[in-house]
Amino acid sequence: MTETPRTSQLVDPSLLLSLQRMPQQFMAYSPDEDWSGVTNPAARRRLQNRLNQRAYRLRRQGQDKRATQTDGAHIESAGHHHPTPVPTPAKALAHHDSITCGLSELQHLECTFAPPNIHDLMAQFERRAMARYAEGSPKTDLLLNLSRLNVLRAAYQNVVAIGMTVEWMCQDSTISIFSLARPQHGEHSIPQSLQPTPLQRTVPHHPWLDIFPIPQMRDNLIRAGKDLDDDELCHDLTAFWDTRRSNATMLVWGTPWDAENWEITEDFARKWRFFLRGCPEILISTNKWRARRGEKPLLWKRVFGNQ
């Protein structure tokens, strides 16, 4: 009886093609998460956002693990015969700023309002700011631009706290996950001040508008619709690279999802007053910080007049 040839005997191995997963499939844990071929735009964006969040978390875990291994190797190599020197105040300040101002270490995608070399500008600015701070001679222009760098950092931190990614926020055409569907993780994990309002759920908008920790502020921006020049607002708040900008900006003094850590300048209040209507929290917080500096309180009447 003649033996039937097996498949492996019929096919030349050199002619076999190696099938590989497509890039968008690498983060998918099941076929249901593969957005290839999904024609519904909302469903496709929802799946893309889920995979973007997963990829971001994995990258952060890898960075944390490498940092831990590096620190452990450094301690082990030092041994007991080479005690770590006590840092000087200047070194301690520089180390502190390298942690709190390490925004340029994040993977930064192009934003429509930012120059293409923003990553390099962030690194250069941080070095200048830390050097001036360590010397005890900070310049006023650096302080104003540092406030904008802090707002950019706050935006990044808040968008991640909400459940989105920096990459998602930096893309011009993305829509807030609150407008697409409920966040993939429970909303109980979102800080109270950042939890979505009914308007955020029902009106499609860019995730940039979700980062402010005062609900009425977010609603004011969403209601403005096409009347809002969001590129101009972005520029006022975060354009640390532009030394020609006015004093119309916000300041963040601590945990970015705590509204009490945000402050507005008087120029910002006048320029963007529609954004502040019905938001007494920001006035209270602003005057708290102004009082600490010995400045006169900001009065709503001076901002809104008789309107």
In DSSP terms, 15 is beta-bridged to none
Long-range contacts, stretch 21-26, CB < 8 angstroms, 24+ apart: 24/48, 24/51
For residue 102, name the pLDDT band (cuts at 50, 70, 90). very low
pLDDT at residue 167 in the model: 77
pLDDT of 260 reads: 94
pTM value?
0.57
Q: Which residues contact 163 (CB under 8 A, 6 or more apart)?
A: 53, 177, 183, 184, 185, 189, 190
Confidence of residue 65 (pLDDT cuts 50, 70, 90): low
Single-letter amino acid, residue 219 = D
pLDDT digits 0-9 by tens, 165-219:
877 777 777 888 888 765 455 677 899 999 999 999 999 998 889 999 999 999 9
Q: What does the pLDDT read at residue 88?
A: 31
Mean pLDDT of the chain: 68
pLDDT of residue 239: 61
Least confident of 100-104, 218-222, 262-266: 100-104
